[in-house]
Amino acid sequence: MVVVKAMNKPITVFFSDIQGFIELNEKLSSEKLSWLVNTYLSEMSEIVFRFGGTLDKMIGDSIMVFFGDPYSRGKKNDALSCVCMAIAMKEAMSGLQKRWKIAGIETPPSVRMGINTGNCRVGNFGTENKLDYTVLGSTVNLASHLESIAQANEILITEETYNLVKDHVQCTVNHSADSRWLSKDLKLYSADKMTSGIENSTSLSNFIDNP
């Protein structure tokens, strides 16, 4: 018998994928495509673990991560950790693009990311045969949607996340995101860079532990 245990708690959810992956799939050989995806996922997953994220799943070129369970540094610091992770991923992507170009990929792909913070159902969900530890709810759905409408190399975040990180992250209001699915009252921001001397996961930990 499957025992489903879940609870409501504040979570910051992250989604990313490779922009133009379908076109890339048609242009590259199977070997080169596999190499590109594997180098990308290896680099990104290492960054997830460095910043303390929970790697929920990787499907093709897509990555889902959340902060706030099973370990939380508090809602504000979880959001800051997530956005710092995303910025580190964007910087790492620049290095990967150079590697791919040297390897003969003339137009290296870009990454796009979406982040949202809010209450989620977190726990084990599934069937008799398979249970997944994951998060569910409208917060997750919105984060996924933001990733799908983000521009190349953009980290698109909601106002909820922005209010938690704005003292330490330089953001710009996003007026260009176009989606019929989104409410006109929903404010979106692009997270650009850190403003508090937080350069990596070590300095982030020091900042959180010694505010």
User: Which amino acid, one-letter code, is at 54?
Assistant: T
Q: Is 147:191 a contact under the CB 8 Å cutoff?
A: no
Model pLDDT, residue 3? 53
Model pLDDT, residue 85? 94
Statement: the pTM of the whole predicted model exceeds 0.85? yes
Region 45-57: what's the mean pLDDT?
A: 95
User: Which amino acid, one-letter code, is at 170?
Assistant: Q
Q: 103: Cβ–Cβ under 8 A, 6 or more apart, which residues?
A: 32, 35
Model pLDDT, residue 2? 47
Model pLDDT, residue 129? 83
The span from the CA of 110 to the CA of 192, in Å, is 15
The span from the CA of 180 to the CA of 165, in Å, is 27
Whether pLDDT at 165 is above 80: yes
User: In the structure, what pLDDT confidence band is assigned to residue 1 with cuts at 50, 70 and 90?
Assistant: very low
User: Which amino acid, one-letter code, is at 152?
Assistant: A
The span from the CA of 209 to the CA of 10, in Å, is 20
Residue with tokens 């609870």: 7
The span from the CA of 83 to the CA of 167, in Å, is 12
Region 167-190: what's the mean pLDDT?
A: 79
Model pLDDT, residue 170? 93
Percent of the chain with pLDDT over 90: 66
